[in-house]
């Protein structure tokens, strides 16, 4: 199949063959492949184990979410945002809600803002845990995946208690949240955070500093800061390349005011070091800024950062005034105009664009997917890598097909 | 058994019947063993991953899960891709399994308990185990799937490469023992655990770990399971297999795992000899009658199986802990690390054996096969003669045994007195080998 007997050119005296002539092989990775994170299809052009080209084909999970949004009231569209990045439904809800609120110029109470920070950061932890676990899976290490899911399960339990759902929450909605947090929820959340922090150290020993893991991830899929910016990469993928951008700090006022007064540092490498507020393992010598290892590491550190943010938010929520939401009627007319807002989701910058003609139902809805841009860099990173590096690179981008195809 | 049948049947038929019966019995070792290991793997993996694993089928611990798994696989449709080469596709699992199963013929489970007692047992095992790769290559090629082909090519590259360091590692205990006969090698490690070859010298200690690494690689277990790397190659060479054929691949894999750890147990961990010679201390030797000898050997078999299962468990443990290596890293590991280390250790072990033929410390001073005090006492019981003389007598009695028979008489005297031999044994490996074999029990 891969080799060819040299009969075709045997008569041509000008061609001298020094080696076994080999053919390139086109091979479909996906859409039913175990490590393409859903229904991604990569068409690989391989020469033996070496991949000369990797072209992502998308669209297998397209559900016309944006078109549906043009037929529903903004509050009705919230469940559809859940199904975009289904690993971080809360963050999707939040992005949509903020965009609609921006259009309506709707100020929400202090308490609702802190509640949103708690919930959004908790979901960021959950999403990064899945990202970490599946990355281990991509590299052939099964157990960390289940450890990560064990911890995520506890977050889901908390979410279930808060809103009744475990995956598609529709909890953060236009005007705040559907319910206030139940009694004793904050205590449970704090207990969980106390328990999670030491566990992260275990993950570092299992993956981050594991010799085989470092060999598989360090200096693989190196993406320069310029490439990352050119391809519109965002989130941990961008920060893993050393670009200091985080919308929670650098975003629009409408979004960043949620985080006003919170103490946190953007997780990005500066002079060979990451911001330290916890005991972290050192960067291995073989790791290069922008490789898979750094992207993975940024996520691991963001978990710790989010733990800190949730703790701060809990303190503020306890003393905050106001309600958990301002009531918004389902058929409330939207003001004429348009609004676009990007938020910092676990996977990157997720933007929602909404245009209204003054009716209750928006005229146009559009989502800017972070994973879509992050995935587009696959072709660039996979050129000339080995077959086994393809899952390593795609996994380090931490994509969710639901968000890409929408 | 053959003698028993030959009283009723012509001798050729008796041989045939005996062979068939032995084969059927032996076939159950890899089959039942594989099922057991599947269960162990599921349980161990579950515990490692903070789960419970199978708990329901068969009551406690889900021990019947293996049967349920087997039934499920047997009732599955036997699929074959349209493009596949029908004959090779069907043949491949059996090639792999036969190679794995045939090895069990030469693997001694206890002292003398081996289906085919071979002078070149080690060589035979390595050679036949290497044939397993044909099944995988055939499967990959015949499946007409690109992923399968990738798996097969990886397997071919990997297994053929790892044969080299694996062979070099195995040569070290063989060199120390002076024989390739696995039964003889096992007998040389009788006595306290300090007689095990892994504690023979620092080089064998190191080389055991090299051997185990290469062994994991040669049976395609994580982190070297590139041929079936599920995150890259879907399922590698058995992507297109289903049901029973797939099960056969699986059994072959678990059988090979058992063989590699069993070989490690014999070559480095004293085989059927426990850390303390319990059977000897309890008097379960041939000297005290046939039943006692049988019980002693049965204890030995438990020892051997325990050690082998322990090795398999370590492989399972490793699999569920570490990520997978990349193909170039696997080859680098083989060619740049394992092979040179094995070569250096081989050289070191050679020099060590040459320099200290009888060992360096007091413990090592006794020739293999004796424990000071214990051995003397045991022989005394059996022959009712002074300890210093009886080895010669034993040599005479035991000389109908297979290994190194011709040397038995002339070197037995030199090796007879354990304490004295420590200082003055003229040629280490030879005398050691013959001494141990001279004390060989009847088969």
Instruction: Give the residue extent of every domain in chain A.
Output: 106-329+383-405
Buried b (16+ CB within 10 A) or exposed e, A8-36: eeeeeeeeeeeeeeeeeeebebbbebbbb
What's this model's pTM, rounded to 2 decimal places? Answer: 0.78
As a whole number of angstroms, the distance between CA B354 and CA B429 comes to 9
**Chain B: nearest CA to A210, how far in angstroms?**
8
Chain A residues with beta carbon closer than 8 angstroms to that of B222: 140
Chain A nearest-CA residue for B319:
A141
Tell me if B245 sits within 8 A of B78, measured CB to CB: yes
What pLDDT score was predicted for residue A3?
46
**Interface size between A and B, measured as CB pairs under 8 A:** 86
Chain A residues with beta carbon closer than 8 angstroms to that of B324: 139-141, 212, 216, 388
Residue B51 contacts A, CB cutoff 8 Å: yes
Chain B residues with beta carbon closer than 8 angstroms to that of A49: 150, 154, 327-328
What pLDDT score was predicted for residue A129?
92
What residue has token string 């995988």?
B136
pLDDT along chain A (406 residues), means of 10: 48 64 79 79 86 87 89 90 89 91 88 90 92 88 88 91 88 87 89 89 85 88 90 90 87 86 83 72 83 90 89 88 82 88 90 90 90 89 86 88 86
Chain A residues with beta carbon closer than 8 angstroms to that of B49: 142-143, 146-147
Residue B332 contacts A, CB cutoff 8 Å: no
Tell me if A380 sits within 8 A of A227, measured CB to CB: yes
Instruction: Kindly provide the ipTM of the predicted complex, given to two decimals.
Output: 0.76
Q: To probe the interface with A, which of B232, B235, B318, B330 has the most A CB atoms within 10 Å?
A: B232
Domain A106-329+383-405 has CATH 1.10.645.10: yes
Residue in A140, A150, A206 nearest the CB of B324: A140
The two three-digit tokens of residue A332, written as one number: 């409330």
Residue B237 contacts A, CB cutoff 8 Å: no
Residue in B48, B147, B322 nearest the CB of A212: B322
A140–B50 CB contact, under 8 Å: no
Residue in B51, B234, B322 nearest the CB of A210: B322
Chain B nearest-CA residue for A389:
B326
What pLDDT score was predicted for residue B177?
80
Chain A residues with beta carbon closer than 8 angstroms to that of B154: 49
A142–B45 CB contact, under 8 Å: yes
Bridge partners (DSSP) listed for residue A42: A29, A56
| CB atoms near residue B337 (< 10 Å) | 13
Chain A residues with beta carbon closer than 8 angstroms to that of B45: 142-143
Q: Kindly state the DSSP code that residue A287 receives in the 8-state scheme.
A: -
Q: To probe the interface with B, which of A141, A206, A217, A219 has the most B CB atoms within 10 Å?
A: A141
Residue in B51, B150, B234 nearest the CB of A33: B234
Chain A residues with beta carbon closer than 8 angstroms to that of B50: 146-147, 150
Helix (H, G, I), strand (E, B) or coil at A88: coil
Residue B330 contacts A, CB cutoff 8 Å: no
The ranges assigned to domains in chain B are 80-245+252-271+282-352, 362-438
Chain B residues with beta carbon closer than 8 angstroms to that of A35: 230-232
A25–B231 CB contact, under 8 Å: no
B329–A215 CB contact, under 8 Å: yes
Residue in A138, A212, A389 nearest the CB of B325: A212
Q: Which of A345, A303, A382 is nearest to A40 (CA)?
A: A382
Q: To probe the interface with B, which of A143, A154, A203, A293 has the most B CB atoms within 10 Å?
A: A143
A215–B322 CB contact, under 8 Å: no
What pLDDT score was predicted for residue B234?
76
Tell me if A168 sits within 8 A of A65, measured CB to CB: no
Chain A nearest-CA residue for B330:
A212
Residue B146 contacts A, CB cutoff 8 Å: yes
Residue B14 contacts A, CB cutoff 8 Å: no
Q: Are strands A25-29 and A41-47 parallel, antiparallel or unpaired?
A: antiparallel
Show pLDDT as tens, one digit a residue, over chain B (443 residues): 666 777 777 778 888 888 888 788 878 777 787 778 888 888 888 888 888 888 877 777 777 877 888 888 888 888 888 887 888 888 888 888 888 888 888 888 888 777 778 888 888 988 888 888 888 888 888 888 888 888 888 888 888 888 889 988 898 888 888 788 888 888 877 777 777 888 878 888 888 999 999 888 888 887 888 777 777 777 778 888 888 888 888 888 888 888 899 999 988 888 888 777 777 777 777 777 777 777 888 888 888 889 988 998 898 888 888 888 888 888 888 888 889 999 998 888 888 877 776 555 434 444 444 433 333 333 333 444 344 444 444 444 434 444 444 444 444 444 444 444 343 334 434 333 333 444 443 33
Residue B257 contacts A, CB cutoff 8 Å: no
Residue in A27, A146, A391 nearest the CB of B51: A146
As a whole number of angstroms, the distance between CA A201 and CA B188 comes to 47
């Amino acid at each position: 199949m891969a080799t060819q007997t040299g009969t075709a050119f045997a008569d041509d005296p000008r061609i001298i063959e020094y080696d076994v002539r080999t053919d390139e092989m086109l091979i479909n990775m996906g859409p039913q492949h175990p490590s393409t994170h859903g229904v991604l299809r990569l068409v690989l052009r391989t020469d033996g184990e070496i991949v000369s080209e990797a072209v992502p084909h998308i669209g297998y999970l397209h559900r016309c979410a944006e078109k549906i949004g043009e037929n529903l009231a903004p509050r009705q569209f919230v469940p559809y945002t859940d199904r975009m990045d289904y690993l971080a439904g809360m963050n999707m809800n939040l992005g949509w809600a903020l965009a609609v609120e921006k259009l309506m110029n709707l100020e929400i109470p202090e308490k609702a803002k802190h509640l949103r920070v708690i919930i959004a950061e908790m979901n960021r932890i959950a999403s990064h845990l899945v990202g970490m676990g599946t990355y281990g899976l991509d590299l052939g290490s099964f157990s960390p995946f289940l450890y990560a899911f064990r911890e995520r399960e506890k977050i889901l339990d908390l979410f279930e208690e808060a809103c009744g759902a475990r995956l598609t929450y529709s909890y953060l909605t236009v005007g705040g949240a559907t319910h206030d947090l139940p009694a004793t929820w904050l205590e449970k959340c704090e207990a969980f955070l106390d328990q999670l922090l030491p566990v992260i150290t275990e993950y570092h020993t299992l993956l981050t500093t594991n010799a085989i893991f470092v060999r598989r991830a360090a200096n693989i899929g190196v993406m320069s800061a310029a490439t990352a910016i050119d391809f519109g990469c965002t989130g941990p993928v961008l920060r893993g390349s050393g670009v200091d951008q985080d919308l929670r700090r650098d975003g629009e006022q409408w979004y960043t005011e949620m985080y006003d007064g919170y103490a946190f540092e953007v997780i990005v490498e500066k002079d060979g070091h990451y911001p330290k507020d916890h005991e972290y393992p050192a960067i291995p010598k073989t790791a290069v800024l922008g490789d898979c290892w750094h992207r993975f590491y940024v996520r691991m550190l963001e978990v710790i950062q989010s733990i800190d943010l949730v703790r701060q938010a809990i303190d503020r929520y306890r003393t905050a005034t106001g309600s958990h939401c301002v009531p918004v009627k389902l058929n409330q007319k939207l003001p004429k105009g348009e609004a676009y807002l990007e938020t910092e989701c676990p996977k990157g910058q997720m933007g929602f664009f909404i245009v209204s003609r003054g009716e209750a139902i928006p005229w146009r809805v559009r989502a800017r997917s972070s994973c879509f841009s992050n995935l587009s860099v696959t072709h660039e990173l996979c050129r000339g890598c080995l077959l086994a590096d393809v899952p390593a690179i795609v996994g380090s981008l931490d994509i969710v097909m639901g968000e890409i195809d929408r | 058994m053959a003698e028993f049948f030959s009283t009723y049947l012509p001798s050729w038929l008796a041989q045939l019947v005996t062979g068939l019966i032995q084969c059927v019995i032996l076939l159950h070792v890899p089959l039942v063993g594989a099922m057991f290991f599947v269960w162990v793997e599921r349980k161990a993996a579950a515990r490692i991953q903070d789960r419970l694993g199978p708990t329901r089928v068969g009551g406690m611990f889900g021990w019947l899960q293996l049967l349920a798994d087997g039934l499920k696989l047997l009732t599955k449709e036997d699929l074959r891709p349209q493009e596949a080469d029908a004959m090779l596709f069907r043949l491949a699992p059996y090639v792999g399994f036969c190679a794995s199963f045939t090895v069990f013929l030469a693997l001694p489970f206890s002292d003398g308990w081996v289906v085919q007692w071979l002078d070149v047992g080690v060589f035979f095992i390595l050679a036949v185990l290497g044939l397993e790769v044909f099944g995988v290559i055939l499967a990959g090629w015949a499946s007409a799937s690109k992923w399968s082909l990738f798996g097969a090519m990886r397997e071919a590259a990997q297994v053929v490469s790892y044969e080299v360091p694996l062979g070099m590692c195995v040569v070290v205990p063989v060199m120390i023992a002076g024989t390739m006969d696995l039964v003889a090698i096992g007998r040389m490690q009788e006595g306290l655990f300090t007689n095990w070859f892994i504690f023979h010298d620092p080089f064998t200690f190191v080389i055991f770990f090299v051997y185990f690494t290469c062994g994991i690689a040669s049976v395609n277990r994580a982190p070297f399971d590139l041929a079936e790397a599920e995150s890259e190659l879907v399922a590698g060479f058995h992507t297109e297999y289903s049901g029973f054929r797939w099960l056969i691949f699986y059994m072959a894999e678990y059988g090979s795992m058992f063989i590699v750890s069993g070989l490690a147990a014999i070559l480095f961990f004293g085989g059927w000899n426990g850390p303390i010679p319990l059977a000897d201390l309890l008097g379960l030797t041939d000297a005290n009658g046939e039943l006692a000898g049988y019980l002693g050997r049965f204890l030995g078999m438990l020892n051997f199986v325990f050690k082998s299962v322990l090795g398999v468990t370590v492989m399972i443990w490793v699999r569920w802990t570490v990520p997978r290596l990349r193909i170039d890293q696997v080859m680098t590991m083989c060619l740049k690390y394992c092979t040179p280390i094995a070569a250096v250790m081989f050289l070191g072990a050679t020099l060590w054996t040459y320099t200290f033929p009888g060992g360096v410390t007091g413990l090592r001073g006794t020739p293999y096969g004796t424990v000071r005090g214990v051995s003397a006492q045991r022989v005394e019981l059996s022959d009712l003669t002074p300890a210093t003389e009886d080895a010669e007598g034993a040599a005479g009695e035991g000389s109908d045994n297979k290994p190194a028979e011709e040397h038995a008489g002339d070197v037995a005297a030199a090796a007879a007195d354990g304490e004295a031999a420590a200082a003055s044994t003229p040629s280490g490996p030879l005398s050691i080998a013959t001494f141990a074999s001279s004390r060989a029990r009847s088969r």
